Every structure is written in structure tokens, then in C-alpha cells.
Amino acid sequence: MENLRTAQLPGEHAGAGHLDDALVDAYINEADHQHLKSFPNERKATLIQRILSRNPDKSMELGGKLDFERTLRRLRRDGYALIDIQLHETAFYSIWFRKSNGVMDWRRIEVAMVLWELRGGDCTTTVQSWFL
């Protein structure tokens, strides 16, 4: 079975090297790395625990070849910042965070998880979001 190390991601060129390098170089920019390093581990653990304890408020599954890259660009444009990233054998996920204005000037936290996975030779992107 083909895995992520041999699959070609959207925007990845054949022979680009290991998946880790290709993903980091192609999709995660310097600002993302800086925020990832500076975000407190305790806060990240708390947010991840909160989102795992409840169902997402919104969930979408996308099947296009460019959906992963478009989703990351949209999250950055909308003010989300990267707080966690994980590479697995046939999947890659990232968690994004932002504070936004809620109702009547109450601030709320929005968390989005973007999951890219290889399924039977095709790639899918799943986006889930929570309002905390």
C-alpha cells in the first residue's frame, strides 16, 4: 500500500525528498513555525483536551487535489495561527487557533483541525472546527 512518504501531495514535486521536509517547506511558513514554538504547551494541551471531549461544531470533507493548500491559506487569511502539527504514516494533521469577537463583545476561541489523509491512492482533506 502506498503511504505518505511516496505519495505526491498537492503542490509537491516528484523527488522532493522526505514527506516531512516537503510538507514543512511547502505548507508551513516561517510565521507558522514561530507561533508553533511560542504557543505555551500547557495552553495547547488544554485546548486539545477540550476539542477532543466534544463533537466539532462544523465538519467538512474535501476531495480535491488543492483543497489542503487552499484550506491552510484560508485559515491564515482569517487570522488563525498554527499551534500543533503531527505527521503519521498515512495522515498529516494540524491544529489552528484564533480569538474572535463573539456576540456582544464577548471574545471566543475558535479552533480548527485540518487532517490530510491518503485513502486508497486518493487524498482527502477533512476540516473540523470548534467554538469554545
Q: Quick one: pLDDT band at residue 132, thresholds 50, 70, 90? A: confident
Type of residue numbered 82: L
80-128 confidence digits (pLDDT tens): 999 998 888 778 889 999 988 766 667 788 999 999 888 777 888 999 9
Q: Write down the pLDDT at residue 22.
A: 58
> What domains are defined for the chain?
19-131 (3.30.2030)
Q: Write down the pLDDT at residue 26.
A: 66
pTM given for the model: 0.76
Share of the chain above pLDDT 90, in %: 43
Q: Write down the pLDDT at residue 11.
A: 41
Stretch (H or E) spanning 43: helix 41-52
- Nearest of 90, 114, 104 to residue 32 by alpha carbon: 114
Q: Write down the pLDDT at residue 28.
A: 78
Stretch (H or E) spanning 50: helix 41-52
Those residues with Cβ within 8 angstroms of residue 89's Cβ, 6 or more apart along the chain or in another chain: 3, 4
Rounded Cα gap, residues 15 and 62, in angstroms: 26
DSSP 9: P
